[in-house]
């Protein structure tokens, strides 16, 4: 009887392992050379700009009154629209601080991607409401996280208020643990 019990436990372990996430998804880690290939705006007062992307799509299948939705999501950094004015970076410490601030924009975009995905996938859709509900929810999510991006820049003074930046860094760390 013992070998059968061991086989059952082994099968259970294999099945559990197969359905356990094997890797955690993290946002991109910025670096100047890879993620900032755009041409700097000569009229901008900023030393760097990080352009992020959030897109969603879905395919719907309706059979009778039964609705099936298959979503897809895309998020990340648009390296061709992100830029840095390297001549404005005085030293290695200033570079590190500025890159850390720009990384915060990536974290906010990642929160939009992951939390937006969860919200959009888990709403109560019906055949009659799904198009409007998806559209409204996506617009609300975009607005919320765009406002967060703006608040982040205002509160941190674009990364120059180091105390405010540390508070946001702690917020990002806490939020990333939950994802």
51-74 per-position pLDDT tens digit: 999 999 999 999 998 999 999 999
The confidence score (pLDDT) of residue 1 equals 52
Tens of pLDDT, residues 4-62: 444 444 344 334 344 434 445 679 999 999 999 999 999 999 999 999 999 999 999 99
Query: What would the two tokens of residue 30 be?
Result: 């910025």
Contact partners, residue 119, CB within 8 Å, separation at least 6: 137, 141
The confidence score (pLDDT) of residue 17 equals 40
pTM metric for this prediction: 0.84
Rounded distance between C-alpha atoms, residue 81 and residue 22, angstroms: 33
> Is residue 18 a part of any domain in this protein?
no
| Number of domains the chain is built from | 1
The confidence score (pLDDT) of residue 163 equals 98
> Is residue 11 a part of any domain in this protein?
no
What are the CA-CA distances from residue 170 to residues 64, 104, 107, 175, 177 (Å)? Answer: 49, 11, 12, 9, 11
Tens of pLDDT, residues 72-109: 999 999 999 999 999 999 999 999 999 999 999 999 99
> Is residue 14 a part of any domain in this protein?
no
> Is residue 154 a part of any domain in this protein?
yes
Q: Tell me which residue range forms the domain holding 170.
A: 26-178
Tens of pLDDT, residues 119-141: 999 999 999 999 999 999 999 99
> Is residue 20 a part of any domain in this protein?
no
The confidence score (pLDDT) of residue 21 equals 42
């Amino acid at each position: 009887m013992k070998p059968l019990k061991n086989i059952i436990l082994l099968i259970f372990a294999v099945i559990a392992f197969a359905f356990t996430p094997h890797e955690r998804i993290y946002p991109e880690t910025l670096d100047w050379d890879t993620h900032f290939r755009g041409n700097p705006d000569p009229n901008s007062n900023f030393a760097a700009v990080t352009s992020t992307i959030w897109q969603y799509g879905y395919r719907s299948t309706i059979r009778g009154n039964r609705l099936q939705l298959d979503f897809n999501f895309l998020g990340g950094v648009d390296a061709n629209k992100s830029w840095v004015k390297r001549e404005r970076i005085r030293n290695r410490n200033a570079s590190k601080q500025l890159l850390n601030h720009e990384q915060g924009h990536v974290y906010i975009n990642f929160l939009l991607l992951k939390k937006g995905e969860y919200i959009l996938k888990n709403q109560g859709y019906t055949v009659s409401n799904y198009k409007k509900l998806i559209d409204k929810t996506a617009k609300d999510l975009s607005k919320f996280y765009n406002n967060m991006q703006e608040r982040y820049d205002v509160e941190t003074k674009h990364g120059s208020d180091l105390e405010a930046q540390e508070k946001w860094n702690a917020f990002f760390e806490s939020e990333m643990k939950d994802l």
